[in-house]
Chains A and B, each alone.
Chain A
Amino acid sequence: MTTMPEIDAGAPHAATVVSRTQESPSIFTLQLRLNDAAAQGSYRFAPGQFNMLYQFGVGEVAISIMSDPADRNTIGHTIRAVGRVTQGLAKLQPGDQVGLRGPFGRGWPLQEVGGRDIVLVLGGLGCAPVVSVIHYVLKRRERFGKLVIIQGVKHTEDLIWREQYNRWSKLPDTQVLVAADQGGALWPWHVGRVTDLFSLARFNPQRAAAMMCGPEGMMRAASESLLKQGMPESRLFLSMERNMQCAVGRCGHCQLGGSFVCRDGPVYSWNQVKDLLAHKGF
């Protein structure tokens, strides 16, 4: 897995909101640029890593990076306004400032899965950490086999970036499968569970790798389904979420068994987490 050098673990760096996009009633995207041009120029991350974003006077929150690692101008974060910090961040407009520390953690094993069919399983806003993988693969198409994007949402309005899904579905060697637990008007996709879609996915389990992000129950069900289809355990990767406050393996909140999700994750192989995923409360 890829580990990139971090800015540092001390005080955040000031960053400016370059643009803001409302993706759904509660989901928005902030494109940020570090105020220090040299810091922005040397900022590097791997898809799957995250930053700590600081809202003045309120606090920090861990947000995965959704922009392309080759984009050196801005750092993108798609955020759901759900807690104190994210509700504050939701009110920001272009020109406003935040603090940024990062990137932290280990990202997706994109080098290791080169040449393979790529199966992406996304639940809810799980698309944010994985959308950077989609962009990454599409920009470097020749390095990978088939791309299968399997996305589950609870309600139809939770699916953001609809036009992108439509565009991706028309690309060669790319398959897009979407399911909503509850149907809605003008919903062109499946109504039901995301695992219903696995029988429709066209890929070779022997030469594929899967990356998934979303609710743990969904990731477990998806993993078991993929294993049943013959995918080796060593090529299943999950992005885990836990409470993160320090982001450097120190504050203790994100511990998952003996590992610190902020430092040893957030991306884990199935082997590393399967035992604890079987028990609620870790």
Chain B
Amino acid sequence: MEAGFLPVEQMSSLVAALMAQGYACLGPALENGAIVMREITLPDSLPRGLQAELGPGHYRLTQDPLNRYFAWANGPQAIKPLAFAPKESLWRVERDATGVLQFAAVQASQSPQAVIGVRACDLAALALQDAHFLREGRCDAHYAQRRESLFLVAVQCAVPASTCFCASTGDGPTPIYGYDITLAELADGFVVKAGSAKGCAVLKVMDLAPATSDQIEAAEHQGEAAAASQSRSLPGSLSPSGGNLREALMSRLEHSRWDQVAARCLACGNCTAVCPTCFCHAETDTPSLDGQSSEHVRMWDSCYGESHGYLHGFNVRPDTRTRYRQWLTHKLATWHDQFGRSGCVGCGRCITWCPVGIDLTEEVAALTTGEAQA
């Protein structure tokens, strides 16, 4: 389907079309001083002018002088919690008076949801979550159910934050796959494209005028300018240094930089909580007060926590140095073994939401310059 053009004053017609097709619509909303995705109840209630200033350990709301819809860079969470629930019950067990146990799976249930304002980095991250949870032969039913319910309205990032580096990981700032509809916001409206049959169905109802070649070109230039504005980067296949970080990091496992970063790192797990690709989760049991039943629950976990490496009486990773190293080498090195690419999509959240402002691009640069130590 060719690109259409949605005039800015008709934005609500997209939300209305989604609502008419039965989707609950989620869009940007302010919550606790940050931009997050929350349900919008009326077609014209999508906020304008939201913006935030991001830096290492720094996030402050500001106002977009141009009053655009999507001039904000990603907040702490976007779509990961919608597919991989932060906490959910997997199965429950009942014990009768004779001690007989009856186990039953708990089915996930999710009605259709449309998320408006999904960024390219998060689409790349979702593809990795799909690869993990929907692996052939071992599909996670809970994840699959939630994932199936999602309709993704992507947006080209026109104003990346200072912490963004998706251009260097090859994942942004312009969405190229994984969306149902994608938008590029220009001064007077949106260049709109469908990326799936579901997306086509919505656009068909909206009956947009075709985008002009000038509009399409303006959107392309906007994406190129956004990529060029990014000051941080990771060495990757698209960067001048080429290759991937696997060998560089795995040959420096005893580098002194690990000790230096461990001295700063609080092992709080914020980076893993905001990372859109982190998939670790703990499984715990919650017995009922009457002792007759129990729920088996999974919830997001972090490799920085005390229990992550616990093994009958000792800890595989007893200190912050080994935990930070586990996180970084998994994300940037051994992820290649598991999924054929790096686990970093350049969203920069781990930098922004680190309370002490540890910058992964800076750590990688420090670790990989100079000779391998061990």
Taking CB atoms, residues of chain A closer than 8 Å to B301 are: 251-253
Q: A80 to chain B: which residues have CB within 8 Å?
A: 312
Contact indicator A258/B336 (Cβ below 8 Å):
yes
Q: Mark A246-270, 1 if CB is under 8 A from B, else 0.
A: 1011111101011100000000000
CB-defined contacts of A4 to chain B, threshold 8 Å: none
Min Cβ gap A93→B in Å is 11
**In A209-249, which residues have CB < 8 Å from any B CB?**
241-243, 245-246, 248-249
Minimum CB–CB distance for B97 against chain A, Å = 13
In the bound assembly, the distance between CA atoms of A253 and B330 in angstroms comes to 12
Contacts of B101 in A (CB 8 A): 14, 56, 97-99
In the complex with contacts A59-B284, A252-B281, A257-B337, A10-B105 CB distance below 8 A: yes
Q: Is the CB of A251 within 8 A of B317?
A: no
* Most-contacted residue by chain B among A57, A99, A246 (CB, 10 A): A57
Classify the secondary structure of B's interface with A.
mixed
Closest to A248 in B: B138
Interface membership of A38, Cβ < 8 A:
no
- Contacts A11-B105, A279-B254: A242 and B337 contacting too (C-beta < 8 A)? no
Q: A250-B138, A258-B334 are contacts. A14–B102 as well, Cβ < 8 Å?
A: yes
What is the 8 Å Cβ interface bit string for chain A, positions 55-89, against chain B (1 contact, 0 not)? 01111100000000000000000001011001000
Q: How far is the CB of B235 from chain A (nearest CB, A)?
A: 19
Q: Closest approach, in angstroms, between the C-beta of B236 and any C-beta of chain A?
A: 18
Tell whether, in the assembled complex, residue B330 and residue A281 are in contact, meaning their CB atoms are under 8 Å apart. no
Most buried by B among A96, A250, A281: A281
Contact of B338 with A by CB under 8 A: yes
Question: What range describes how many residues of B lie at the interface?
Answer: 35 or more
In the complex, are the beta carbons of B103 and A281 less than 8 A apart? no
**Do residues B103 and A11 form an inter-chain contact, with CB atoms below 8 A?**
yes
Interface of A is mostly: loop
Query: A59 — nearest CB in chain B belongs to which residue?
Result: B285
Q: Establish whether residues B285 and A13, one from each chain, have CB atoms under 8 Å apart when the complex forms.
A: no
Residue of A nearest to B258 (CB): A281
Q: A99-B93, A253-B301 in contact; A57/B285 too (CB < 8 A)?
A: yes
Chain A residues with Cβ under 8 A from B335's Cβ?
A: 258
Residue A9, interface by CB 8 Å = yes
Which residues of the other chain, A, contact B254 by a CB distance below 8 angstroms?
279
A11 touches B104 (CB 8 A): yes
CB closest residue in chain B, given A260: B338
Q: A11-B104, A59-B285, A250-B279 are in contact. Are A255 and B334 (CB under 8 A)?
A: yes
A12 to B92, CA, bound (A): 10
How far apart are A202's CB and chain B's nearest CB, in angstroms? 34
Instruction: Provide the bound-state CA to CA distance between A248 and B298, in Å.
Output: 14
Nearest B residue to A60, CB-CB: B283
Minimum CB–CB distance for B290 against chain A, Å? 11
CB contact list, B277-335 vs A, under 8 A: 279-285, 287, 291, 294, 296, 298, 301, 303, 307-313, 316-317, 321-322, 325-326, 329-330, 334-335
User: Residue B87 at the A interface, CB < 8 A?
Assistant: no
A11-B303 in contact given A83-B313, A97-B100, A253-B280 (Cβ < 8 Å) = no
Q: Are B322 and A281 in contact (CB under 8 A)?
A: yes
Q: A11-B104, A97-B101, A280-B322 are in contact. Are A249 and B313 (CB under 8 A)?
A: no
Counting CB contacts under 8 A, is B372 at the interface?
no
Question: A57 vs B280: C-alpha distance in the bound complex, in angstroms?
Answer: 22
Contact partners of A9 in chain B: CB under 8 A? 138
B23, CB-defined interface residue at 8 Å = no
Check B14 for interface membership: any CB of A closer than 8 A. Answer: no
Chain B, range 237-290, C-beta contacts under 8 Å to A: 250, 253-254, 279-285, 287
Q: In whole angstroms, what is the CA distance A243 to B104 when docked?
A: 25
Looking at the complex, which one of A82, A241, A245, A275 makes contact with B283 (CB distance below 8 Å)?
A245
* B92 → A minimal CB distance (Å): 8
Docked CA distance A241–B315 (Å): 12
Given A11-B103, A99-B103, A252-B303; A59-B283 close (CB under 8 Å): yes
* In the bound complex, CA of A245 to CA of B310 (Å): 11
- CB-CB under 8 A from A281, the residues of chain B are 316-317, 321-322, 325-326
Is B65 on the interface with A (CB-CB < 8 A)? no
- A243 to B312, alpha carbons, bound, how many Å? 8
Given contacts A83-B313, A86-B312, 4 further A-B contacts (CB under 8 A): A10-B91, A96-B99, A243-B311, A253-B282
Please report A residues at the B interface, Cβ cutoff 8 Å: 9-14, 35, 54, 56-60, 80, 82-83, 86, 95-99, 241-243, 245-246, 248-253, 255, 257-259, 275, 279-282
Could you list some 7 contacts between A and B, CB below 8 A? A10-B90, A59-B285, A243-B309, A243-B311, A251-B281, A258-B338, A282-B316
